[in-house]
Structure 1
Amino acid sequence: MAAQAEPSLLVDYAPVMLWQAGPDRARSFFNQPWLDFTGRPLEAELGFGWMEGMHPEDRARCEQVCQQGFASRAPFTLDFRLRRNDGEWRWLLETARPLCQDGQFTGFLGSCVDITDMRQAMEERRRALAERELLLAELHHRVKNNAQATTSFLGLQASRATSPEVAAALRGAATRVMLATLVQDRMFRIAENATIDLGAELLATAQAAVDVVGRPGIVIEAEMEPGLLLPVSQATPLALIVNELVVNAARHAFADRPAGTIRLALRRPAPGLGELMVADDGVGLPEAQRRNTPQGCLGLHLVPRLARQAHASLRLDVDGGTKATLRFACG
């Protein structure tokens, strides 16, 4: 059996700085890594001498935490700057636990590790994220302004067009740009690494599309399974798909009557799988457009591309109306 090292040898070879204090908070022991860090003799560190090396800005805060810990005899953690033997201020993370012997409180045992590099890395990351957010906000602002300018230009051209077909196409394009901008604007306000309640977002998108198209007789019926969360990067193309499908239905599916119904359903058919369905009870698609990649309608031409962005499969069915079904991976 291998011989065990002496306790005093173990604490001096421990990869952390250790200290011990009595009930009066005066330090009675420091291990060798602590002394090597400060470059001061043990006699200078004992009692409250070690605090001479603490950064003046951290002393009041540390004193308060230590006093509360000793008074309540509860573990505590704090961070502070301590001067290293070369004069550099280094951030330490200290963890302290109460000591008891024969049921009597005898003080605290603490350990410290140097976290300066970690703090610097976190600060650099925070600064980089802040710069990135600023750039994204500026980019979003410019894209939004450009989209608004494009919408205004298309509307102006539509008012000047002599052909009713051209005017309708220009107004349709202006509406699509505006609605897509609304979707992107809502998504931009959500943190990139956050998830979004897909059902609520898709319902809001569908209602906005119907309102903008201006068909008051159209009703949206929704069956949205709650709690289906997706990251923004995946939810955005799905919202744009709903936008396109609802706009198409509102404009073309009910050309023979003033009213109609658009059904919106979201569910989990299996673990890890989401299914989105958008259907209408309108006239259906012309024969030339009954494909999964239709060419005759701009909105339906965009949907397969958006489905690929969302990593979703797409199926279009025409039977007493038009139904689009998308399946995608979800958590």
Structure 2
Amino acid sequence: MDVDTSATGTASESLVGDAFHQFADDVPLMMWRSDAQGQAVHHNESWLGFTGRSREDEIGDGWRRGLHPDDVERHAALVLDAFATRRPYTAEFRLRRHDGAYRWLLDTARPIDREGVFTGYLGTCFDITDRKHAEEHAAAALAEKEALLAEVYHRVRNNLQVMVSLIGLYGRAAPPPCRGSFEALGQRVRAIALVQQHLHEAPHIASIDVRDYLHRLASGLGQLRRAGRIGVTIEGVGTTLVEPRTANALGMIVAEVVAECLDATAESVACTIAIRIDAAAGAPVRLQIVSGAEGDVVPAAAGSVPNLGPRLIAAYAAQAEIAVRGNATADEPLELQLPEVLTRIVPD
């Protein structure tokens, strides 16, 4: 006797569908299901309670009438791409709630495969409106902070330029034995201004990439004094993001190491500064700085400039809670350890 298996299969699929619908309606989160053509075939009770619409209203493309107008095209393109590749996807969009308010939903969907046959997608949605608002407030606060810092750095840089001019005037009027000190002071104030400039030019003033910042600063220092005779190299593993106070202190320390080398050697000598960054994940961020001179070292005139470098470096480091030791020589490199609470490792 022949058996009509098609009828049995249809009845079995119907039972499976009924069981799924019952399960989905009992789940306390928004769920939906589509067919292989992308048309909605079921929304559970949590979904319907959220939208305040009937199941018949949501079937097919009906549910899309609740999408925020600004999200319709973006969401449709994402879903179309996912269906074409039969891959899971995640989407964020705004959906109109029963009270007329648009709420942000996080929609996570996966393809349904029955014995090798693609039958559609199953998805769940979570209300993430509070998280989105928090992100917006954080972004606005960051933008406001960066605008304020930019204004502060702009004013500081202008004031430093005035100071450089005043130091130059006093230096030219000073007795010859004192002019070297005035020149060194002017160069250091120019270095401070350069540090402020590069802080101001950082892509994100409130969170500064140390490697990028020191690269840009090193290039500027190389042109500030004894152009063509200063070489600064930066090597190492990884990088890190720091707040402006830490970046400012690092910049001043590097500028002082450069100034020390220049003050201790004649104009014909080329100075080299090697900086190594160790920002491996799971460890404190450390920097190592070595200063040297190329070729036959010709010392500067004795006593022309007081040697305040070690004291200045220690003062800059203390301001930013940077641990420091060493004197930037090959035998005893200057070693800096950044405060952990103020740094964030960035993968290469």
Q: What is the CA-CA distance between 1:220 and the residue it aligns to?
A: 4.9
Which of 143, 161, 167 is equivalent to 1:154?
A: 167
Q: Which residue of 1 aligns with 2:333?
A: 325
1:82 paired to 2:95: yes
Q: Which residue of 2 aligns with 1:70?
A: 83
Q: What is the CA-CA distance between 1:247 and the residue it aligns to?
A: 2.3
- For residues 23 and 249 of structure 1, do their structure 2 counterparts lie closer, same or farther at Cα, with a shift above 3 Å needed? closer
Distance between the aligned counterparts of 1:165 and 1:104, measured in 2? 91
Distance between the aligned counterparts of 2:278 and 2:92, measured in 1? 50
Task: Please give the root-mean-square deviation of Cα atoms over the aligned residues, in Å.
Answer: 3.7
Are 1:62 and 1:78, in contact at CA under 8 Å, matched by a contact in 2?
A: yes
Q: What is the CA-CA distance between 1:177 and the residue it aligns to?
A: 0.7
Are 1:155 and 1:170, in contact at CA under 8 Å, matched by a contact in 2?
A: yes
Distance between the aligned counterparts of 2:42 and 2:34, measured in 1? 7
Q: What is the CA-CA distance between 1:90 and the residue it aligns to?
A: 1.0
Q: Secondary structure at the match of 2:156?
A: helix
Are 1:249 and 1:282, in contact at CA under 8 Å, matched by a contact in 2?
A: no
Distance between the aligned counterparts of 2:122 and 2:289, measured in 1? 58
Given residue 313 of structure 1, which amino acid in structure 2 is its aligned partner? Answer: V
Q: Secondary structure at the match of 2:147?
A: helix
Q: Which residue of 2 aligns with 1:133?
A: 146
Which of 173, 190, 196 is equivalent to 1:178?
A: 190
Q: Flag structure 1 segments of 5+ consecutive residues without an equivalent.
A: 1-5, 288-295
Q: Which residue of 2 aligns with 1:301?
A: 311
Q: Secondary structure at the match of 2:326?
A: strand
Q: State the identity %.
A: 32
Are 2:108 and 2:123, in contact at CA under 8 Å, matched by a contact in 1?
A: yes
- For residues 134 and 265 of structure 1, do their structure 2 counterparts lie closer, same or farther at Cα, with a shift above 3 Å needed? closer
Distance between the aligned counterparts of 1:82 and 1:244, measured in 2? 58
Q: What is the CA-CA distance between 1:43 and the residue it aligns to?
A: 2.9
Q: What is the CA-CA distance between 1:88 and the residue it aligns to?
A: 1.1
- For residues 154 and 324 of structure 1, do their structure 2 counterparts lie closer, same or farther at Cα, with a shift above 3 Å needed? farther
Q: What is the CA-CA distance between 1:202 and the residue it aligns to?
A: 7.1
Q: Which residue of 1 aligns with 2:219?
A: 204
- For residues 64 and 91 of structure 1, do their structure 2 counterparts lie closer, same or farther at Cα, with a shift above 3 Å needed? same
The size of the alignment, in residue pairs, is 307
Given residue 143 of structure 1, which amino acid in structure 2 is its aligned partner? Answer: V
Q: How does 1:1-331 map to 2 (within 5 A)?
A: 10-159=23-172, 161-190=173-202, 191=204, 192-197=206-211, 200=215, 203-204=218-219, 207-208=222-223, 210-211=225-226, 219-220=229-230, 225-227=235-237, 229-232=239-242, 234=246, 236-251=248-263, 253-254=264-265, 259-260=268-269, 262-267=271-276, 273-279=286-292, 281=297, 297-308=307-318, 309=320, 311-316=322-327, 325-329=333-337
Distance between the aligned counterparts of 1:228 and 1:43, measured in 2? 56
Distance between the aligned counterparts of 1:203 and 1:235, measured in 2? 13
Distance between the aligned counterparts of 2:326 and 2:76, measured in 1? 67
Given residue 303 of structure 1, which amino acid in structure 2 is its aligned partner? Answer: I
Distance between the aligned counterparts of 1:89 and 1:104, measured in 2? 36
Given residue 197 of structure 2, which amino acid in structure 1 is its aligned partner? Answer: D
Q: What is the CA-CA distance between 1:152 and the residue it aligns to?
A: 1.3
Distance between the aligned counterparts of 1:79 and 1:267, measured in 2? 42
Are 2:273 and 2:291, in contact at CA under 8 Å, matched by a contact in 1?
A: yes
Q: Deviations over 1:236-264 (max 9, x none)?
A: 4344223223323423x34xx66445443
Q: Deviations over 1:306-326 (max 9, x none)?
A: 2333623233499xxx98731
Distance between the aligned counterparts of 2:70 and 2:234, measured in 1? 54
Distance between the aligned counterparts of 1:105 and 1:297, measured in 2? 77
Q: Deviations over 1:190-234 (max 9, x none)?
A: 33434333874675365345426xxx8xx5576754446354554
Q: Secondary structure at the match of 2:100?
A: coil
